[in-house]
Amino acid sequence: MMLNFYPGPSKVYPEVRTYLTDAYDEGILGTPHRGEQFVQLSRATVGLLKRKLNIPQDYLIFYASSATECWEILIQSLTTKKSFHIYNGSFGEKWMEYAQKLRPASEGHAFDVNEAMPVDQLEISSDTELICFTQNETSNGTQVTPTTILNLHNRYRDTLIAVDATSSMAGLNLKLIKADIWFASVQKCFGLPSGLAIMCCSPRTIFRAKQIAELQHYNSLVSMYEKMLNYQTTTTPNVLDIYLLRRVLEDRPFIKSLEQSLVDRSQELYEFFSQFQDIQLLVENEEVRSKTVIALQASERLVDDIKKRALHHNIKLGNGYGNWQRNTFRVANFPAILDEEYEELKRFFLHYYA
Ligand X SMILES: *Cc1c(COP(=O)(O)O)cnc(C)c1O
Q: Which stretches of the chain bind ligand X, using CB under 6 A? A: 8, 66-68, 91, 134, 138, 164, 166-167, 185, 188, 197
CA distance 43 to 228: 10
Rank residues 66 and 234 by Cβ distance to ligand X and give the closer one: 66
Q: CB 305 → ligand X: shortest distance, Å?
A: 26
Rank residues 171 and 349 by Cβ distance to ligand X and give the closer one: 171
- Note whether 56 and 205 are within 8 A (CB): no
Closest listed residue to residue 76, CA positions, set 49, 48, 106: 106
Q: CB 351 → ligand X: shortest distance, Å?
A: 31
In order of 2, 233, 323, 333, the CA distances from 190 in angstroms are 19, 21, 27, 12
Rank residues 116 and 171 by Cβ distance to ligand X and give the closer one: 171
CA distance 240 to 237: 9
Provide the β-strand partners of residue 76. none
**Omega of the bond leading into 32 within 30 degrees of 0 (cis):** no
Q: CB 231 → ligand X: shortest distance, Å?
A: 22
Q: CB 134 → ligand X: shortest distance, Å?
A: 5
Q: CB 69 → ligand X: shortest distance, Å?
A: 7
- The CA-CA-CA angle for residues 317, 319, 322, to 5°, reads 155
Rank residues 175 and 313 by Cβ distance to ligand X and give the closer one: 175
Rank residues 138 and 220 by Cβ distance to ligand X and give the closer one: 138
Q: CB 249 → ligand X: shortest distance, Å?
A: 18
Helix (H, G, I), strand (E, B) or coil at 296: strand
Rank residues 188 and 265 by Cβ distance to ligand X and give the closer one: 188
Residues whose CB falls within 8 Å of the CB of residue 63, separated by 6 or more in sequence, listed in order: 42, 196, 197, 198, 199, 233, 237, 238, 242
